[in-house]
Amino acid sequence: MEHRTLVSTRRMHRRFDPDRPVDVAVVRRALQAATRAPSAGFAQGWDFVVLMDPADVQRYWGTTRRPGPPDAWLRGVMTAPALVLVCSDPQRYLARYAEPDKGWVDRDPGRWPIPYWDVDAGMAALLALLSVHDEGLAGLLCGVPPDRHDAVREAFGIPADRRLVALLALGHPAPDGDRGLRGSASRGRRPLTEMAHLGAFGRPFPS
């Protein structure tokens, strides 16, 4: 797909075709795209835990969902046949920046303007979503409930020092769409004139 079309037609999906699994090659290409993301110091401190076996997918939802019947959003997202836990690895960044060309040998996280390990994992996740969209499939990025991070790490053998930046739910679009599950999207996009500033904050960027 042409780049502008790819970017402008990408959207999050919250219901998937339960009868169409995702080819592992699609996921591999998505993760290859993810690894093309930029990263501070080229640290590449990300890991992707792919869940495609239905038992693993069920285990993820069993580990994270609240007691009681799932709401409409969860019923929709749970139709995704493939999940990817996008993890970041702060230690890899601290180690990379302790190398001679960077010289932050104290490995002090306070040196970092913001947690670039999470920024980079987010950029990688977006490239994965764009790859999936380019192939006509659908995806959602959402968070792992914070009080479930330890349980998810334990369920899937993820080392304690990895941060669970995002969950990607992947699949083929639901034949009947996902209308009614796109709560936030109905807010509409903020106009660029409101967000872009030229020269100083509040000065309009030409439209």
Ligand X SMILES: Cc1cc2nc3c(=O)[nH]c(=O)nc-3n(C[C@H](O)[C@H](O)[C@H](O)COP(=O)(O)O)c2cc1C
Note the residues at the interface with ligand X (CB under 6 A).
11-12, 14, 141-143, 184-185
Beta carbon nearer to ligand X, 14 or 96: 14
Beta carbon nearer to ligand X, 143 or 175: 143
CA distance 66 to 68: 6
Q: How many CB atoms lie within 10 A of CB 74?
A: 15
Beta carbon nearer to ligand X, 183 or 204: 183
Q: Is residue 89 classed exposed, middle or buried when 0-12, 13-18 and 19+ CB atoms within 10 A define those classes?
A: buried
Beta carbon nearer to ligand X, 94 or 152: 152
Q: Closest approach of Cβ 41 to ligand X, in Å?
A: 23
Written as six digits, the tokens of 126 are: 């977006």
Q: Closest approach of Cβ 11 to ligand X, in Å?
A: 3
Q: Please check whether residue 38 is in contact with residue 123, taking contact to mean a CB–CB distance below 8 angstroms.
A: yes
Whether the CA torsion 149, 154, 56, 21 is positive or negative: it is positive
DSSP string of 3-35? HHHHHHH--B-S-B-TT-PPPHHHHHHHHHHHT
Beta carbon nearer to ligand X, 14 or 92: 14
Q: Closest approach of Cβ 187 to ligand X, in Å?
A: 7
Beta carbon nearer to ligand X, 27 or 164: 164
Q: Closest approach of Cβ 77 to ligand X, in Å?
A: 7
Q: Closest approach of Cβ 183 to ligand X, in Å?
A: 7
CA distance 32 to 30: 5
Q: Closest approach of Cβ 10 to ligand X, in Å?
A: 7
Q: For residue 197, list its beta bridge partners.
A: 204
